[in-house]
Amino acid sequence: MKHPTLTDFNCFLTWDKTGMTMRHITLIICLALFFGIFARPAQASEFKDMDICLGRQLVARVLCKDPIEINYVSRVRDNIYLYSVFYAKKETHFFVGIYNDIIRIQGKEFHTVTRSIPYHFDATAKCGVVDYAVAACPTDERIVCCSQKTIEDELDDNFWNRPIPDLLEEDLRKAVQANNATSTQPPEKNTPQQ
């Protein structure tokens, strides 16, 4: 009986027309699975209040309206919000998607009202900053929306916003109190031995 050789299995390892081997196909499938499993969608912002403010301000800017006229309706998904406004003689809805570095606005009833607007997130101040102007709208100032600060952030800001002499005086006071606390302990008796 003849034992099979590598040339006998060659028909299973290659495709004649494309020249691709099973190794190539396996590699392609593995890469597709890897990128399919580990590919992540655009991150939703963890600052929902900032996202709602940015959405309201940008819909107002796109429609050249006062932000007070824009109503937040609901959160559709993690980073997509729904707003309503009286536009073109009727109540109209707009979707606002806030992604890592871009904000996308699309009208629900008016699909022609679609904008993709870049923005910058200032991580230290926890603020979203947008430079966007509409030619027909008289306002062209920068849009800045900040997230509400946590108690720790406020305490940290209060500490660092104080003048340096006050900080030094507080450190000196603490050092003097610590020194006084150690000096109130009874001293050890050192009697000289004779």
- pLDDT tens by residue, 89-98: 889 999 999 9
Predicted pLDDT of residue 44: 42
Q: Which pairs with CB-CB distance under 8 Å and at least 24 residues apart come from 138-144?
A: 139/61, 143/54, 143/57, 143/58, 143/61
What integer is the mean pLDDT of 173-189?
74
68 has a pLDDT exceeding 60: yes
pLDDT of the residue at 108: 85
User: What is d(CA 6, CA 141) in angstroms, rounded to the nearest whole number?
Assistant: 73
Domain range summary for the chain, segments of one domain joined by +: 48-146, 151-177
Amino acid at 93: H
DSSP-assigned letters across all residues of 53-84: HHHHHHHHHHHT--GGG-EEEEEEETTEEEEE
Confidence band, pLDDT 50/70/90 cuts, at residue 39: very low
DSSP per-residue string spanning 5-17: -TTTSHHHHB-TT
Q: What is the pLDDT of residue 148?
A: 80
Look up tokens 């099973």; give the residue.
Answer: 22
- Average pLDDT score over residue span 20-40: 61
